[in-house]
Structure 1
Amino acid sequence: MAQVPLSMNPVQFSCSICLELLKDPVTIPCGHSYCMSCLTDYWDCQPICSCPQCRATFSPRPTLGRNTLLAEMLQSLGAVKLSEGPSAPPLYEDHGFEHATFDVSSVRPERTDGERLLGETRRYLAQQIEESESELQQLKQTLRSFSRLAKAAVKDSSKIFSELQEFVERRRVEMKELIRAQEKAEVTRAENQLQRLEQQISELRRRDAELEKLSHSQDQHRITQSMCQSYCSPVSAGAASSLVVSPHVSFGPVRKAISDLKEQLQSLYHREFPNITSAVKTVNILQMEKANKALEAGDSAHIPSLDSRTDLLQCEKHQSDLNQNSVTSQSSSTKHDSAFLFLCRLLFAVFGPVHSTQGAFPD
């Protein structure tokens, strides 16, 4: 009997990097599969390990392991040699003679179940496409909003630092005015004292000159009177004698106080800047918690074993029942049975279990 053709799209099992059928396939935590050599070369050229399709990032770099299940599927796909040719004539076509040993309609439920499986898978894919498109639109909108928020944050931070710069500039002007005022006050006080000292010296020299003249006089009464006047009205030197001139005047303490203030500001900045950096890094568009959990669980969590899938067991059980019901035609339908079972395994391995309210197969 003719072999039932089975058509599969090879694009579904091709590497998105080299666009060829997968060679030594590996599956990364996000669920996508690539050639091991292609993905290794791609990650070696990238600063961050990420999926070329969904852009999910992984840190640390995952250890790549060969997906044995998918490799066997691809090997079986090549062995079966799926064709795109026209469908073979139905097995139940009238051949002009009676079928005495088997029922020609025994393969009809198998084809119906295969079509139902494909229909359920297409509906599942349509749902996934709809959800992905919704996520795509939401991500685009979030990106636009994020760009606006980032621009506003840059503007606000620039404004705050400008205000801080203006504050420091005002303090600099105040400090300059304070030093100039102190300089003016001290210079004025010193100049006044200098003027008083000069006047005092002039007065003392004048009196000394008068006493020198009296020293040549013979009139004792006049000498006594002049001496009394000199001692009774002495030059006020108390203020001058109470002043102590600083021999090492300096603005060193002022400079030290300003330097201490600068160090305190720098210390405050270095202490608080990590908090600012942490606050900036918490603003994320994508949350990678699921990807990280998948990374910890390992690659096997994304492509479970076929033996653990209830739907696949149902598929094999249903195939076994069909074989028992058509014992007499087993030799003529073996290739078709293997192709159908391979299709079931391939769909489950790539797309996962298909959930239906009616079940994947009838009881």
Structure 2
Amino acid sequence: MASSFSLLSEDQLLCPICLDTFTKPVSTPCGHNFCLSCLSSYWDNERVYQCPVCKERFERRPDLKVNTFISGLASQFRLLQVTNAHTWSPGPSKESAECAVLCDVCTDVQQQAVKSCFECLTSYCSVHLEPHHRAAGLKRHTLVDPLANLQDKICKEHNRILRLFCLSDKVLLCDICFRSQHMNHDVVPVQQAYGEMKDLLGDTEARVQLMIQEKQQKLEAMKESVKESKRETSEVIAESVKELTALVSEVQRSQTELVKVMEEKQKAAEEQAGVFIVVLEQELIELQRMKMKLMDIKQTEDQLCFLQTFPESVVLPLNTDLPSFSFNRHVELQNVQKHLSSSVSQLQTLLKKMTTEITTFSASNDVTLRNLQQYEVNVLLDPDTAYPLLVLSDDGKQVRYDKSPGRVYPKRPNAFKRHLGVLGQRGLLSQRFYFEVLVSQKTEWCLGVATASVRRRREVTRNPDGGVWAIKFRVKSFEAFSSRGVTVYKGKVERVGVFVDYDKGQISFYDVQTATLIFSFSDCLFTEELYPYFNPCDNECGSNLDPMVIVPVTRTESSLTP
């Protein structure tokens, strides 16, 4: 018998529907074979009767009869499988690899199990396994290599082996689960699913590793950039302080030189004037003597005596030429003051210019934000995309969360089904655009842009390939939507600016009040239109029922783009 079955493979005796060995096999008019229950269940759920394999249609439902020949082959094959222990095995388990599975029947010293039975949910040593090879009823049981936790391998609903895996719903199935609920799904054997999922996991692991390397490179580049910037800043500060210190020293030196020169000139002038003062004082003494002498002569009443002395008394002493000794430095001091004031004024102008340049540098963030605000677009929310628990204002500028009892939730085929999101009405492609949103006192919200193909019927995935580039605020800190749990900025903001440069693959978020960059996505690859994305979040954190409000950019004359 074994030699005859050596010409057959297990696949030839498997039902194409349940992927198990035939049970009461029947044949269709087109020549394909199935389990009676499998084909009956299949046709019960279909409007037309056709072959599940070749899709040939039949005018009426065929009258199925069990093929006794194939049924006998299948029975013999199952018996041969059990006898030779060629049974299905889900592959080596972690438990069997790490520790031995012991016999559940041994009472004294438990021996190591050699097989586990799915029907009995028991592991047996070689001694206690013997009845499964001898008793007719036990021979039909499914024996596998020893496994711990057998109950986890059995369907809880139907008490059958979990042999299949539904790729559509990502669940393990027994043959009854498959026939009753998953006939039209993508179902494969566990071994195949294990291989495919393991390959997929390997691909994902490789992509994650590549992302880790890219992030590490960016991290190292950012650290190196910060280090280089710190070094350059220190050098500029040192050089600037050096030059300004030299300037201060030069001004102080000029001040000292000016005082010295002025004092020396004053001293020289005083010495020159001192000589003239001595001469003038001496002449003044002589003139005083002459005056006294003339007064004495004038008082002489003796006419003869007066006339005898008069010729000698009228001779005046030598008079100094006073105009040649004039001491007047007013004009000279005025000239010095004029030249000094002119030089100081020029220096003050240069200092004011330098201060203005420093102030302009410190206000570069304001300039950057003002330049981005020129790309403002008018954003209106699209009610057809709004999650049912979101309420939009009539003008399309506000969105808030509302779970009030008795609300009527409209059916919108294009709306988010499992995500508190809403998109803008207009998609933008290959250009720059900017808009601002007032988040006020909200304790949680999410804001950014999303692709037109972002998932709406299922939960939006929070990964770089999820189609959403946004920041999420919760209580006091920010995180990137694609990097759950990684804080990118701390603090609370009231007004957020969103700027997108489609061609450069860059999305930036700003605190409008302080003109501070919150976070920026860079080197993004966009292949479709981008829509403004809003998520006001629920009231889990409390005090979060305020709306997110799209507001126009406020411009003043001082904030016009240069």
Indicate the TM-score class for this superposition, using the shorter chain for normalisation. Answer: 0.3 to 0.5
Say which structure is richer in strand. 2
TM-score (norm 1): 0.44
Say which structure is richer in helix. 1
TM-score (norm 2): 0.31
